[in-house]
Amino acid sequence: MATSAAPSSLSFFNSSIFLPSSSQKPLSALAPKNSLKTSKPLSVSAELATLPVLSFTGDKVGETFLDLKSALPDTARAVVHRAIITDLQNKRRGTASTLTRAEVSGGGRKPYPQKKTGRARQGSTRTPLRPGGGVVFGPKPRDWSIKINRKEKRLAISTAVASAAENTIVVEDFSDEFEKLEKPKTTEFIAAMKRWGLDPKEKTTFLVTEVANNVRLSSRNIGTLKMLTPRTLNLFDILNADKLIMTPEIVDYLNARYGVDYDGETEDEEEEEEEEGGVEVEGTAADESSDAAE
């Protein structure tokens, strides 16, 4: 049977950054003898990539650079795998629930006598062996969430974006072009994608600072397209895409947030910490006010 060549994907299963070269020595030869006793910090490297910048008409108008932190090839696969499993598992609601034979209503009376019927003995109609009975070892509500370190998650995202550099295109901000239209048109967005060398049938992820209304309405009917902003940026959509499209503003944001020079917390992270500790802050203020009243 003839097989057709599948389109290249950004998945970490076939990305070159996650595959160690054959010339590298095995980890057992490089690791010191006492490596099991001492814990070492997570090693990172810098991945500098040159990306072409296209105009709205599809012409090349310049180049830009993507300089991100990236995990070493020996550990990149494990870091990205742990982060994607964390994201997918934390999305589970954990509300699946079944009833055991003790929780099913009814079944308190013995259905028929123990002897002289020729049938197998039964003590309840809610046994798991009968229809309408309980469920053996069925699911119960539980918490599926797991924790991952913030630096490790950030490193996984930057590693995934760095590995997708060969399938990444930078396009100038096109929001104003679609705002000029009288009404949103999907055909106009598909025509723009073709000018940028994109196939509408391939999975494409756009990274923009803000999704304009006409852009959102013009692209929402394209099932293979995802529009992400810095707040909705996630690892799954990056790995699941065949092509990654960015704006120059997003490139600057990624270099600042996930670049080599990044060292410290951003305003978004500080806001998250304030929200988590909001209850404690309010309680402290209430205690101070009560002490002052006394």
Confidence bin at 259 (pLDDT 50/70/90): confident
Higher pLDDT, 64 or 291: 64
Tell me the angle at which helices 73-90 and 150-163 cross, rounded to the nearest 10 degrees.
Answer: 110
- As a whole number, the mean pLDDT across the chain is 79
d(CA 50, CA 61): 14
Higher pLDDT, 109 or 285: 109
pLDDT of residue 39: 43
Flag whether pLDDT at 31 surpasses 50: no
pLDDT tens digits for range 190-227: 999 999 999 989 999 999 998 888 889 988 999 999 99
pTM (2 d.p.): 0.68
Strands 44-54 and 60-71: antiparallel
pLDDT of residue 268: 54
pLDDT tens digits for range 144-191: 999 999 999 999 999 999 888 888 999 998 888 888 888 888 999 999
pLDDT of residue 79: 92
Asked if 60 contacts 115 with a C-beta cutoff of 8 angstroms, the reply is no
pLDDT of residue 175: 86
Portion of the chain with pLDDT greater than 70, in percent = 73
